[in-house]
Each structure stands twice: as C-alpha cells, then as structure tokens.
A and B are shown apart, each in its own frame.
Chain A
Amino acid sequence: AFELMEKDEL
C-alpha cells in the first residue's frame, strides 16, 4: 500500500 508520508505541509 502507499506508505503514508508524514504530512509536513500546511
């Protein structure tokens, strides 16, 4: 599955 990138954008 698409590994969840940490959401570092606003």
Chain B
Amino acid sequence: MNIFRLTGDLSHLAAIIILLLKIWKTRSCAGISGKSQLLFALVFTTRYLDLFTSFISLYNTSMKLIYVACSYATVYLIYMKFKATYDGNHDTFRVEFLVVPVGGLSFLVNHDFSPLEILWTFSIYLESVAILPQLFMISKTGEAETITTHYLFFLGLYRALYLINWIWRYYFEGFFDLIAVVAGVVQTILYCDFFYLYVTKVLKGKKLSLPA
C-alpha cells in the first residue's frame, strides 16, 4: 500500500458517499445518470467476487463491501425510492454500446482465460467507460448541480491517483498490469474536459454550465 493508492481509495469512497448523501438528503436524483450507477454496480459485482474466494486484508474486504453496498443503495434510491425524480428523458445513453464491446474485449484480451479473471477484466474495462452516460447526460442538460461536480471530481481523481500508484509500484515493486493501466489511462482521459470545467468554473464559485 502506498499513499497514492490510499488517497485514491479515499477519494473513490468520498465520491460514492457524496453521491449517496446528495440523493438521500435532497431526496432527489435529478441530474444523476441511473445508467452510470447501474454500470458501477455491475463493475463492483464482477470485480469483487473474490470476496468469497480470498481474504487479503480487513481494509481490502471492508472497502469492497462498502463499495458494493453503497453502489446498490444508490441504484435502489434512483430506480425505486426516488424514482419520481429520475430524469429518464436525459439519461438516454445506449449502455449496450458499452457493455457488449467491453464484454467481447474481456474475452479476447485478458491475463488468464478463467471465469474470475475474465470477470475482473470485464470490470476493469467497464469501469473505464462507465461514467460516459453521466457525462453524456450533463452535456444534454447543459448543466450539473455543484454537488454532482464534486462527486465527479473525486471519482475522476481516484483513478488518476491510481495511475501514480502504478508508476510507484512499477518503480519500487516491479508490479505492472497493462490491462489496468491502459483502462485507467482511458478512464482518466474521459474526465479531462470535465476537470478543466471544474477548475475554471466550479472552483471559482460559478455553476457548471456547458455551452448548450
């Protein structure tokens, strides 16, 4: 464990908690893409099946359980409890265009052709594009609530910190996982224009509104 991975995990946890609290406190999921949250729940489900097969550490197991629990709770709040506030008209990204290619790629490019490894690879590839429905929804509505931008900032920051973690681990431990690194680079690049808007607008107290 190194500081970059730890702050990355905490940034990820912060994003998940911010979103869950935003929906719970405001009793509304306006501006939130339910499709992205479904994809994240799928990412955690397919990645953390090793909860049943191997124990790494209390930290590892507890964080995985928290991530899975919060992501399912978020999906429940969006599609059940606060369904009336779900903005389905703007959450129209065709997720099958993500899941099918990612599913195919995870069969073609993986470290080992075993069920757990293919599911892990699927979750890594899927996570790199899972935010697209949310970014697409913001581009359609032309704006985002400030709390939603903080959620996206921490979510994007987490994988950027993981990239530094992988540089650190390559240099000090000789650890290198090409699949995770390539997917992580793609994932972080997708946030770049959002990061620019976040720094130039939200951090200056303005509302995030895209040129419609």
Q: Which residues on A are within 8 Å of B, measured CB to CB?
A: 1-2, 4-10
Contact across chains for A5 and B177 when beta carbons are under 8 A apart? yes
Q: Which residues of A contact B12 (CB under 8 A)?
A: 10
Among B60, B111, B120, B162, the residue within 8 A (CB) of A8 is B60
Can you list 18 A-B pairs with a CB-CB distance of less than 8 A?
A1-B112, A2-B111, A2-B112, A4-B111, A4-B117, A6-B56, A7-B50, A8-B56, A8-B57, A8-B60, A9-B162, A9-B165, A9-B180, A10-B9, A10-B12, A10-B60, A10-B64, A10-B67
Q: A10 vs B182: C-alpha distance in the bound complex, in angstroms?
A: 16
Q: A4 vs B177: C-alpha distance in the bound complex, in angstroms?
A: 10
Q: Which residues of B contact A6 (CB under 8 A)?
A: 54, 56
Least CB distance, B164 to chain A, in whole angstroms: 13
Least CB distance, A7 to chain B, in whole angstroms: 6
Q: How many residues of B contact A (CB 8 A)?
A: 20
Q: A3 vs B57: C-alpha distance in the bound complex, in angstroms?
A: 21
Query: Chain B, 128-156, contact with A by CB distance < 8 Å: what is the 0/1 string?
Result: 00000000000000000000000000000
Instruction: Answer whether residue B84 sits at the interface, using C-beta atoms and an 8 A cutoff.
Output: no
In this complex, the member of A2, A6, A8, A10 whose beta carbon has the largest number of chain B beta carbons within 10 angstroms is: A10
Among A1, A2, A5, A9, the residue within 8 A (CB) of B5 is A9
Instruction: Answer whether residue B175 sits at the interface, using C-beta atoms and an 8 A cutoff.
Output: yes
Smallest CB gap from A1: residue in B = B112
Q: Which residues of A contact B67 (CB under 8 A)?
A: 10
Q: A6 vs B111: C-alpha distance in the bound complex, in angstroms?
A: 12
Q: Which residues of A contact B60 (CB under 8 A)?
A: 8, 10
Least CB distance, B28 to chain A, in whole angstroms: 29
Sample of 14 more A-B contacts, CB < 8 Å, known A6-B56, A9-B5, A9-B180: A1-B112, A2-B111, A4-B117, A5-B175, A5-B177, A6-B54, A7-B56, A7-B120, A8-B56, A9-B162, A9-B165, A10-B9, A10-B60, A10-B63
